[in-house]
């Protein structure tokens, strides 16, 4: 394989990346891979790919251009098969990006990532209100979580979700109904987990996909969404448990809207929010399936 | 001749394919029985997200590297870096701390600096410190561990100490040996200073470098995506509490997950419930310094044995320092 073939194929691949990025950005499917705050970098990448591709294309055009003598030649393999297998590596992501960019992560990945409450030992579980009967049948396992002295000594330190999201906190405390949407999703979940008692008894509306931990009773699910801070590789699940007979008919990965009341339940000395269901219905998977971590650093300065 | 016609033909077919997919990709019906399974789609999504996220930073790194290639002379470097190999570590950490460069972008930059005459061990300090000792990483860690801000301070402090030790150990192991692959070194002798087409040249260099590094990035991202999709976090979490097993498990996790240093704090905070602060720090310090994706990226420019000993030195140093930290705090 001669140098100008390499350059020609490289220019085509660079063009492929340009087209892929352009299409992902136009369709918004880029948000299935990265968080919106990263977008400026992708404008940069798009422009660079365009320039590099164009430049390589022109460079390839002048196939007979004398080698510039700076020994670039060595970086081009002369074996055709070897070269193509390397270029194949670049072609695969472009093609799979064009074909499968609608796909988003669901319950099967959530299982691997581990919903944070899955770790909690339920042997000491005691519940307030309605939940007590349904939890009896759960297996008892020995606690491996011992509170670390270091951690507890640090507990009484400064910033809590309440400090992070003061406006949302006030809003949630004053209103009778808590409604989660794309923008307040992460803050609301954080606040509910931090202070479940404060919000107990309020009615709540939440949308998300259905997800079950292996140790859950049949009548319990997590309504959750993936929260992304930079790219989907760092996605973590944010959700709330919900309990009620109605959930039995809903399979994992079904998108649902849940109406209910916030209750609290003790799991291994952790007070957790849990929704007592009043109604549940299936919804279409939203265009934007993930929620994104938006850091407002100004709230950190006190 | 046949193979040349073939190469050109493939190029045109590819061009046609890309345009078709670009225009009609969504309209191509994929029958259910041909569509890949959920797991394969998950691997693909995570793989693409790692590749896509790394691309702008690889390109940035490649451009900075091209700029260094064109504008930084060896004399400049020599002036700023003390001759004494131990003293030379100080400006290295400073460079690492000032540049908010993440782990993908730093590889081509360090390679170029070393090719320009920066001592190898100084380069290694920059390589391991830049992705973790930087303001963006500090802020994201601080945010992710709102309730325990000491994690953020300790992360920076430990990274500082470990980076220095890594530099020192690499110096003791290799002194001034050239860690770069031979063929890469030849490029460096420069003769274009008279050329008026510096920018064209920069773009050509950048493109060549993108392809040199890209293949390693893609392989690394694919391996990391496989691990992410199929590895159960609970397995590692189960041993996350031990004095020895905790840090080992979290370092192993940091290595295989190959997260960007800006985002890893959020992932780490989700492990808070079932591991010790020292193990969390092991995760937060080790991951940006070396991980699966980056090990493979390093193979693009550095000798295999050198990469292996670097990984070993970083691992050993991090583990020892974490053990000491655990005893005292």
**Mean pLDDT for the stretch of residues B93-99:** 80
CB-neighbour burial class of residue A164 (10 A; exposed 0-12, middle 13-18, buried 19+): buried
Q: Could B266 and A1 be called an inter-chain contact, meaning their C-beta atoms sit closer than 8 Å?
A: no
- What domain range is B252 assigned to? 36-328
Residue A157 pLDDT > 50, yes or no? no
Kindly state which CATH superfamily the domain A107-299 is placed in.
Answer: Nucleic acid-binding proteins (2.40.50.140)
DSSP B302: B
Summarize pLDDT for A187-199 with one digit per residue, the tens.
898 888 888 888 8
**B197 within a domain of the structure (yes/no):** yes
Looking at residue A158, its pLDDT comes to: 52
Is B24 a member of any domain?
A: no
Among A151, A234, A238, A299, the strongest candidate for a mutation testing the B interface, having the largest count of B CBs within 10 A, is A234
Residue B293 resides in a domain? yes
Residue of B22 and B72 predicted with greater confidence? B22
Minimal C-alpha gap between B85 and chain A (Å): 32
Task: Tell me, yes or no, whether B70 lies in a domain.
Answer: yes
ipTM: 0.81
Give the pLDDT band of residue B159 (cuts 50, 70, 90). Answer: very high
pLDDT-based confidence at residue A62 (cuts at 50, 70, 90):
low
Q: Who among B11, B146, B230 is closest to A159 (CB)?
A: B146
Domain range summary for chain A, segments of one domain joined by +: 3-100, 107-299
Chain B residues lying within 8 Å of A41, measured CB to CB? 56-57
* pLDDT tens digits, one per residue of A88-115: 999 999 999 998 888 888 888 887 776 5
Domain count, chain B: 1
Would you place residue A173 in the very low, low, confident or very high pLDDT band (cuts 50, 70, 90)?
Answer: confident
Higher pLDDT among residues A157 and B153, named by residue? B153
Q: Which residue has tokens 């509910």?
A: A192
pLDDT score for A114? 65
Q: Which residues of B50-70 are buried (b: 16+ CB within 10 A; e: fewer)?
A: bbbbbbbbbbbbbbbbbebbb
Distance from the Cα of B89 to chain A's closest Cα (Å) equals: 32
pLDDT tier at B43 (50, 70, 90 boundaries)?
Answer: very high
Please report whether residue B12 resides in a domain.
no
Contact A150 B51 (CB under 8 A): no
pLDDT in tens, A24-44: 999 999 999 998 988 998 999
Residue A77 confidence (pLDDT): 73
In a domain, B60, yes or no: yes
**How far is the alpha carbon of A211 from chain B, nearest alpha carbon, in Å?**
15
Does the structure show a pLDDT above 60 at B23? yes
Q: Is A96's CB within 8 Å of B48's CB?
A: yes
Report the pLDDT value the prediction gives residue A296, as an integer from 0 to 100: 59
- Exposed e or buried b per residue across B124-158, where buried means at least 16 C-beta atoms within 10 angstroms of its C-beta: bbbbbbbbbbbeebbbbbbbbbbbbbbbbebbbbb
Lowest mean pLDDT among A276-285, B82-91, B266-275: B266-275
More confident residue, A74 or B79: B79
Say yes or no for a CB contact (<8 Å) between A108 and B192: no
Average pLDDT of the residues in B151-162: 93
SS (H, E, C) chain A: CCHHHHHHHHHHHHHHHHHHHHHHHHHCHHHHCECHHHHHHHHHHHHHHHHHHHHHHHHHHCCCCCCCCCCHHHHCCCCHHHHHHHHHHHHHHHHHHHHHCCCCCCHHHHHHHCCHHHHCCCCCCEECHHHCHHHCCCCCCCCCCCCCHHHHHHHCCCCCHHHHCHHHHHHHHHCCEEECCCCCHHHHHHHHHHCHHHHCCCEEEEEEEEECCCCCCCCEEEEEEEEECCEHHHCEEEEEEEECHHHHHCCCCCEEEEEEEEEEEEECCEEEEEEEEEEEEECCCCCCCCEECCCCHHHCCC
Residue B63 inside a domain? The answer is yes
């Amino acid at each position: 394989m001669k140098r100008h073939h390499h350059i020609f194929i490289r220019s085509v691949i660079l063009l492929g990346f340009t087209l892929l990025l352009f299409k992902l950005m136009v369709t918004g499917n880029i948000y299935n891979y990265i968080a919106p705050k990263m977008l400026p970098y992708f404008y940069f990448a798009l422009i660079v790919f365009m320039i590099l591709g164009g430049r390589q294309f022109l460079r390839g055009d002048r196939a007979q251009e004398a080698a510039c003598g700076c020994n670039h030649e060595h970086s081009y393999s002369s074996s055709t098969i070897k070269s193509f297998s390397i270029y194949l590596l670049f072609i695969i992501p472009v093609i799979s990006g064009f074909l499968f960019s609608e796909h988003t992560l669901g319950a099967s990945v959530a299982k691997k990532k581990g919903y944070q409450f899955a770790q909690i030992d339920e042997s000491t579980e005691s519940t307030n209100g309605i939940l007590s009967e349904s939890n009896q049948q759960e297996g008892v396992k020995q606690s491996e979580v011992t509170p670390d002295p270091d951690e507890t000594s640090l507990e009484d330190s400064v910033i809590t979700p309440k400090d992070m999201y003061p406006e949302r906190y006030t809003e949630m405390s004053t209103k009778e109904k808590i409604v989660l949407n794309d923008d307040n999703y992460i803050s609301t979940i954080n606040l509910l987990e931090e202070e479940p008692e404060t919000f107990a008894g309020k009615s709540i509306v939440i949308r998300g996909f259905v997800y079950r931990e292996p140790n859950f009773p049949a009548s319990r699910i997590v309504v959750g969404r993936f929260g992304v801070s930079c790219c989907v590789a760092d996605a973590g699940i944010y959700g709330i448990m919900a309990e009620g007979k109605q959930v039995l008919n809903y399979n994992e990965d079904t998108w649902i809207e849940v109406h209910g009341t916030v209750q609290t339940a003790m799991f291994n000395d952790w007070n957790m929010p849990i929704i007592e269901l009043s109604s549940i219905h299936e919804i279409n998977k939203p265009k934007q399936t993930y929620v994104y971590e938006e850091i407002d650093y100004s709230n950190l300065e006190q | 001749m046949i193979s040349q016609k073939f190469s050109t033909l493939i190029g045109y077919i590819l061009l046609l394919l890309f345009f078709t997919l670009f225009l009609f990709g969504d309209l191509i019906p994929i029958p259910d029985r041909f569509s890949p399974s959920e797991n394969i789609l998950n691997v693909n999504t995570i793989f693409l997200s790692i590749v896509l996220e790394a691309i702008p930073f690889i390109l940035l790194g490649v451009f900075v590297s091209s700029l260094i290639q064109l504008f930084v002379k060896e004399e400049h470097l020599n002036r700023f870096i003390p001759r004494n190999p131990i003293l030379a570590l100080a400006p290295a950490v400073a460079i690492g701390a000032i540049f908010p460069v993440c782990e993908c972008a730093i590889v081509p930059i360090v390679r170029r600096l070393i090719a320009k005459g920066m001592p190898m061990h100084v380069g290694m300090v920059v390589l391991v410190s830049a992705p973790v000792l930087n303001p963006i990483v500090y802020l994201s860690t601080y945010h992710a561990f709102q309730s325990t801000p000491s994690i953020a301070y300790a992360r920076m402090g430990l990274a500082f100490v470990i980076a220095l030790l890594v530099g020192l150990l690499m110096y003791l192991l290799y002194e001034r040996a050239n860690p770069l692959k031979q063929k890469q070194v030849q490029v460096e002798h420069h003769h274009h200073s008279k050329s008026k087409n510096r920018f064209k040249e920069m773009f050509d260099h950048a493109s060549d470098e993108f392809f040199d590094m890209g293949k390693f990035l893609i392989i690394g991202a694919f391996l990391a995506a496989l691990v992410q999709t199929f590895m159960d976090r609970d397995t590692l979490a189960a041993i996350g509490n031990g004095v020895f097993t905790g840090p080992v498990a979290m370092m192993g996790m940091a290595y295989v997950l190959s997260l960007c240093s800006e985002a890893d704090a959020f992932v780490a905070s989700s492990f808070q419930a079932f591991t010790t602060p020292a193990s969390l720090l092991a995760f937060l310090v080790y991951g940006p310094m070396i991980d699966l994706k980056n090990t493979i990226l390093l193979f693009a420019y550095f000798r295999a044995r050198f990469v292996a000993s670097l990984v070993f030195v970083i691992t050993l140093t991090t583990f020892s320092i974490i053990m000491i930290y655990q005893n005292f705090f």
